[in-house]
Structure 1
Amino acid sequence: MKEVWVYAESEGGRLHPVVSELLGEGRRLAERIGGSLGAVLASSHASLAEELALWADRVYVIQDQSPYTDEWQGQALARLIEAYQPGIVLFGGTRRGKSLAPRVAARLRTGLIADCTSLRLDDGGLLLAELPTFGGRLLTTIACPGHRPQMATLAPGAFAPGPKGSGGEIINCPWAAPEVRAVEVVAQEPLPEEDRPLMGAEIVIAGGRGIGSRANFALLEEVASLLGAAVGASRAAVDAGWVEPEGLIGQTGVIVRPRLYIACGISGATQHVVGMQRSEVIVAVNKDPKAPIFDLATYGVVGDCRQFLLELKRHLAPSRPVDEENEGEND
C-alpha cells in the first residue's frame, strides 16, 4: 500500500509537539511516492482525531480506554499495520517512541532506523537516513531494503511541520486489549511541566565539559534564568551528572532551533552539532581557539566560561552583587 503512516503520540488529551513534524515529513515522503498520509491515534479524545484529519488523508483511531502501556499499544499497532500494509511508518524519537517502535518492528520482523535527522527516498522508494557514526568521523547511510514496512524514529525538532490539508477520513478501529497483561497500570501522575522547555525555546544556553564543575553549571543555570533561556547540555555534561538527561542536545537528545544559542565549554562534536546547527545566532565560548564549535559560531569568545558567565550575569542583573570568588569555581 502506498501510504505513509505516522504514530500520533498523545498524553492528557493533547498531541505531542513532535506529531506536527512527523506529519510534515510524512506528507513529503507520501508525495514523493505518489501515495497518501495516514495517522494512527490511540486515544478516546475525538477532538484529537478531528485535529489530525486536518493534516492526514486518513486517521486510524485505535479505540481502547486502557491506560497506555508499550505492551498493548505495540500489539494493536502491529495488528493494524498487518491489516492495512503501509509502506513506511514513522515515530517520534521521544521516550515513548523509542520504547514502542522497536516492539512494533520486532513483532513485524522488520528493521528500524533510529534517531533520524534527515530522510530521503531513492528512485525505487527505499527510505534512506544519514547518521553520524564513530564519534562523528563518518556519515553512514542506513536503509532496510529487505523488509516492510520501512520504519524510523525521527529526532524531535529536526523536521519542519507540514501544511494543513482539506480534511481527511477518520477510521475507527475497535481493539480488544488482552485480558492477561505483563504490565498493569495501577496509577498515573503527570510530571510537572518545565518552566523553560528546550523544544521551542527562543534562547538556549548550553554547557559542556569545559564548564568544569557542577558549581559552574549552577552559575550557567542562574544566567539562563536571567535571560529567560532554556538550559541544555552536551553528552559530557550529562555523563558528569551536572544536568539531567532530558537536557541533552544532539543526535540522541533534543534538537533545538532557537534564535540565540550560547555554547559554553562545548567543543563541537558532530553529535552535538546535529542538535543545534539550525540556530539563527550561535555564540561559542571556549578556552581552545581551535575548538570545532568556532567554525559554526556567529560570534566566538576565546576564554574562560566561568568568567564569561560572571560578566554576563553582571550585565543582566547590575543590582545584584557578583562574588567572583564564591560563585561557581575555577576549573
Structure 2
Amino acid sequence: MSKVLVIAEHLDGRLNAATARTVSAALALAPESIDIAVLAADPAAVAAQAAQIAGVGRVLAVAHPANAQPVAQVLGPQVAALAAGYSHVFGPSTTFGKDLMPVVAALLGVNQVSDLMTVEGEHTFRRPIYAGNAIVTLEAPADRTVVATVRTASWPQAAGGGNATVEAAQVEATVPTHTRHLGLVAGQSDRPDLQSARRVVSGGRGVGSEENFRIVYALADKLGAAVGASRAAVDAGYCPNEMQVGQTGKIIAPELYLAIGISGAIQHLTGIKDAGTIVAINKDADAAIFEVADIGLVGDLFAVLPELEAALG
C-alpha cells in the first residue's frame, strides 16, 4: 500500500485551493495514508486549514524562520528529509510546485512525473505531452519514491469536513544560505485569482493595445471574473505576464472561459482544455479557437463587448 505526502501551497496564512486538488490525485491511489506537510515560519493557521481536507490523516507542521517565504532551495532539503517512509510525494503543478518539486526529485535522485492528469495504478500515470496534443501513459519505478506535480486543472478539490491530526515535525536538514529571498513584487487586484477563478475573461492580440484592454477588464468586472491573456497579448505588452494563460503560463479550469480576440494557438488551448464552457469572440471566422469553443461569435470585439456588457446590466 502506498503512503502519500502532499506538500501544501499557501500564502499569507491561507491555504491555496491547489492543495485540495492535489489531495484528490493522492486519493485516486487508494493509499494507506495521506499526510500534508505545511512548511512555514508559523504553520499553525495553515495546518488547521489543511486538517479539514477529507481523506487526510495527519498534517505535519514544520516551523522554521527560513520558511517564511516559499523559496524552493530552502524548502527542498526539508521536504526531501520528510519524504523518508513515503512512497509518493505530490505537489501542485502551479508556479510553487514547478519550482519546488524538481528540487525535491533531484535531492532524492529520482525522475519527476510532471503534470499528472490521471492515476492508472500505484505507479502508472497519464500526463500531457506536445503542448497537450497527446497524452502519454508512463510507469514509474516501483522501488523508488514517486515525486510528482499534479495538474490541478484536471482534478476537483477534495471535500472538506476532515479532522486530521496536526503534529509538529522536526526536520533534520541543512537549510542553504546561498539562496535568499529579497522581496516580492506582486500586482494588487480586487478580481478573483486567475488560477482558481470560476469565471475568466481573456484577451488576445486582437484587442490591439494596452489601452484597449480596458474593455476586457470592464466585462470581467461585470461577470465577477478573473482576467487572463494569451501569450501574444503579453508579448505585445498589453498586460503583465502573470496574466498569461497557456502552456508557458497558467493552466486553468474555470466553469466559464471567454476568449476575446484570441486566435487559438495550441499553446493557449493547452491552458484551457479543462474549462467547462468556452466562449469565443473573434472577427476571423477561421480562427482555431472556434474549433474548441462551445459558443462562438464572429464579430468585431469592439462592437460586441459593449453590447454584451450593456445586456448584463
TM bucket (normalised to shorter chain) is 0.7 to 0.9
Counterpart of 2:245, as a letter, is I
Alignment check: 8 A CA contact 1:283 1:300 kept? yes
Show structure 2 runs of 5+ residues with no match.
Answer: none
- 1:80 partner letter: L
Listed as ranges, the matches of 1:222-237 within 5 Å are 222-237=218-233
Q: Counterpart in 2 of 1:326?
A: none
Give the CA deviation at 1:131: 0.7
Query: Using the alignment, how far apart are the partners of 1:162 and 1:179 within structure 2?
Result: 32
Counterpart Cα distance in 2 of 1:232 and 1:200 = 12
Contact 1:157-1:254 at 8 Å conserved across structures: no
The answer for the alignment partner of 1:286 in structure 2 is 282
Q: Residues 171, 211 of structure 1: CA spacing in aligned structure 2 closer, same or farther, 3 A cutoff? A: same
| Residue-by-residue CA offset, 1:15-61 (whole Å, 9 max, x unaligned) | 122111112221222x1xx4211111113332433332333112222
Question: Counterpart in 2 of 1:153?
Answer: 149
- Is contact 2:246–2:269 with CA below 8 Å preserved after alignment? yes
- Per-residue CA deviations over 1:67-117 (Å, capped at 9, x if unaligned) read 333223111111121x32x1221112232222111111111111113344x
Residue 190 of structure 2 corresponds to residue 195 of structure 1 = yes
Residues 129 and 241 of structure 1: CA distance in aligned 2, closer, same or farther (over 3 Å): farther
Partner of 2:159: helix, strand, or coil?
Answer: coil
Contact 2:284 2:298 survives alignment (8 Å): yes
Please state if 1:121 is matched with 2:123: no
Give the equivalent residue in structure 2 for 1:250.
Answer: 246
1:193 Cα deviation after fit: 4.5
Which residue does 1:323 correspond to in 2?
none
Partner residue, 2:57: 57
Choose from 70, 73, 88 the match for 1:71.
73
C-alpha displacement at 1:252, in angstroms? 4.1
Alpha-carbon distance, 1:228 to partner: 3.3
Distance 2:289 2:81 in 1: 46
Q: Is the 8 A contact 2:15 2:49 kept in 1?
A: no
TM-score (norm 2): 0.84
Q: Distance in 2 between matches of 1:155 and 1:27?
A: 14
Q: 8 Å contact 1:158–1:255 — kept in the other structure?
A: no
Q: For 1:145, what is the secondary structure of its paired residue?
A: coil
Q: RMSD value over aligned CA atoms? A: 2.9
CA displacement at 1:222 relative to structure 2: 3.3
1:85-100 → structure 2 map (5 Å cutoff): 86-100=86-100
SS in structure 2 of the partner of residue 54 of structure 1: coil
Contact 2:74 2:179 in 1 (8 A): no
Aligned pairs for 1:120-139 (under 5 A) are: 120-122=119-121, 125-133=122-130, 135-139=131-135
The amino acid of 2:284's aligned partner reads: D
Task: Give the 3 Å change call, closer, same or farther, for CA 166–208 of structure 1 in structure 2.
Answer: closer
Paired residue for 1:325?
none
Name structure 1 gaps, 5 residues minimum.
318-331
Q: Is the 8 A contact 2:43 2:62 kept in 1?
A: no
Q: CA deviation at 1:269?
A: 3.5
Which amino acid in structure 2 is aligned with residue 37 of structure 1? I
Deviations 1:255-285 (A, max 9, x none): 4444432211223344433433444433211
Q: In terms of Rg, which structure is larger?
A: 1
Call closer, same or farther: CA 1:77–1:302 in 2, change over 3 Å.
same
1:261 corresponds in structure 2 to 257
Distance 1:172 1:127, change over 3 A: farther
Tell me the residue number matched to 2:82: 80
**Matched residue type, 2:154:** A
In structure 1, what is the Cα distance between the partners aligned to 2:13 and 2:270?
31
Deviation (angstroms), 1:177? 6.0
Give 1:179 shift: 7.2
How far, CA to CA, are the matches of 2:129 and 2:32 in structure 1? 30
Q: How far 1:205 moved relative to its partner? A: 1.3
Counterpart amino acid of 1:50? A
Structure-1 separation of matches of 2:292 and 2:133: 17
Counterpart of 2:35?
Answer: 38
**Counterpart in 1 of 2:202?**
206
Cα contact 1:64–1:177 (8 A) shared by 2: no
Conservation of the 8 A alpha-carbon contact between 2:250 and 2:271? yes
